[in-house]
Amino acid sequence: MKAVVVDSYDKIENVSIRDVAKPELSAGMVRIRIQAASVGFVDGLKVRGLYQTKDPLPFTPGTEFAGIVDAAAADVKGFVPGTPVIGMARSGGLAEYICVPTEGIFVRPNNIEPEVGASFFANYLTALYSLSARGKLRAGETLLVLGAAGGVGIAAVQIGKLLGARVIAAASTEAKRQFATKFGADAVVDYTLEGWRDELKTLTGGHGADVIYDPVGGDLSLQAFRSIAWNGRHLVIGFASGTIPALPFNLPLLKGGALLGIDLAQIGRREPDVRDQVIAQLFTLLSEKKLVPVVGKVFAFQDFREAFKAMTTRSALGKMVVRID
């Protein structure tokens, strides 16, 4: 089979598609014929060896995928060949086949195309878990989404609206702000401007943001926290800026604010019941067409490098998808 193979932590230009052995089944595993896989910000970091954990070399990048069950181990029930699925794995998605344990895959709703299935899972699971289970976002509250036009951010914009919040999207370009507005943002701010916090103050009538959804990090995080409402909740999703901020402890004291960390990789292990509830809620929203996930640009398999470049240069609107089949 063909797969993207990373032999050394390097620029994406030096990564190629190669012929490798088709993965063999073992107990508890399901082999998936991949139709589409997404490329997120974390994938770009992993290829260059910049993520907080490193995949052993050589490895195939890609943590989210959608496909069709090709075969299942004898001890596996419920995943017969031909079943459409979506899934997540530590790596291996940018290939024609992948073997994963059953806890990493879910039957894909009939009306969900592979490109949608490959791009929605992590972003929307993170958004719904963060905003409902951790942030306790309530109808009528104000949600500030930083980096609102990226795959993680636009999911938060949509989920925030479904939860009844007033959503303010912060993005760095006019195109990104228009993109966020198209998918539900009630108002937008340009966080590259020196006075953006004054604009946010005006938009919230001096109240501030009840919940801040933050996949960006850096100085922007500190500025945003200074504009949090009393008893506000700041959700730490990631550090797309490349800089991890240090929050002075007097700020939570003065604001009565809470800083809450979200690590999707740990939810299934530490809170499996909560994760399953959130996934069930997501699938219900999908089936009822209340949630229509945003798919960014779709690339052919041989053009996978372009998907990585779009994501790592932060020019992407939504999440990038690579069509395998």
With 70 as the cut, is the pLDDT of residue 277 above it? yes
| Model pLDDT for residues 127-148, shown as the tens digit of each residue | 999 999 999 999 999 999 999 9
d(Cα 90, Cα 93) in Å, to the nearest integer?
Answer: 9
Task: Give the strand pairing for 209-214 and 105-107.
Answer: unpaired
Which pLDDT value is given to residue 295?
Answer: 87
Q: Average pLDDT for residues 83-94, to the nearest whole number? A: 94
Domains, the chain, in order of start with CATH, read 2-108+295-323 (3.90.180.10), 122-265 (3.40.50.720)
Instruction: Determine the straight-line distance between the first and last CA of the chain, rounded to whole angstroms.
Output: 12
Tell me if the bond preceding 58 is cis, omega within 30° of 0. yes
**110: amino acid identity, one letter:** N
Alpha carbon distances (Å) from 223 to 23, 157, 320 = 48, 20, 29
Which pLDDT value is given to residue 55?
Answer: 87
With 90 as the cut, is the pLDDT of residue 292 above it? no
| Model pLDDT for residues 28-84, shown as the tens digit of each residue | 999 999 999 999 888 888 888 888 788 899 999 999 999 999 999 999 998 999 999
Which pLDDT value is given to residue 286?
Answer: 86
Instruction: Report percent pLDDT > 90 for the chain.
Output: 75
The answer to whether the beta carbons of residues 212 and 225 sit under 8 Å apart is: yes
Q: Average pLDDT for residues 171-188, to the nearest whole number? A: 96
Q: Where does the pLDDT of residue 315 fall: very low under 50, low under 70, confident under 90, or very high at 90 and above?
A: low
Two structure tokens written together for 157: 């914009």
Q: Average pLDDT for residues 272-280, to the nearest whole number? A: 91
Which pLDDT value is given to residue 114?
Answer: 94
The answer to whether the beta carbons of residues 4 and 60 sit under 8 Å apart is: yes
Residues 6+ apart with CB under 8 A from 302: 17
Instruction: Report percent pLDDT > 70 for the chain.
Output: 99
Q: Where does the pLDDT of residue 2 fall: very low under 50, low under 70, confident under 90, or very high at 90 and above?
A: very high
